[in-house]
């Protein structure tokens, strides 16, 4: 059970950043399809109140912070293991 708990914590930490990244890219593509495409083809512009570019910016920022935290925690864990191995070899 003690070995399962870190795995349960680390798995979402290491892979969860993909969700905000997906939401960011998906929102940008929706913005291109709904707002930019009508401008290019000269059709009616839809008046939409959803902040298409603010939301992806926030999700991309969240995703980058999430990756940075995951990398920092993984680096600390590797350094801690390396230190333990070095202690046992001495």
Instruction: Give the residue among 3, 11, 7 at the shortest CA–CA distance from 70.
Output: 11
HSE of 84, CA atoms in CB hemisphere, 13 A: 6
For residue 1, how far is the Cα from the chain centroid? 29
Q: Which residue has the higher pLDDT, 49 or 67?
A: 67
* DSSP letter (8 states) at residue 3: T
- Provide the whole-model pTM: 0.77
- Rounded CA separation 68/61 (Å): 11
Residue with tokens 């798995």: 11
- Give me the pLDDT at residue 1, please: 56
pLDDT per residue over 48-58, tens digit each?
A: 767 778 999 99
pLDDT digits 0-9 by tens, 3-56 = 777 778 888 889 999 999 999 999 999 888 888 887 788 887 767 767 778 999
């Amino acid at each position: 059970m003690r070995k399962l708990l870190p795995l349960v914590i680390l798995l979402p930490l290491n892979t969860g950043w993909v969700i905000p990244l997906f939401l960011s890219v998906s929102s940008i593509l929706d913005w291109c399809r709904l707002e930019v495409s009508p401008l290019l083809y000269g059709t009616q512009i839809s008046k939409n109140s959803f902040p298409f570019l603010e939301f992806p910016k926030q999700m991309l920022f969240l995703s980058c912070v999430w990756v940075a935290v995951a990398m920092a925690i993984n680096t600390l864990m590797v350094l801690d293991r390396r230190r333990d191995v070095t202690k046992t070899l001495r």
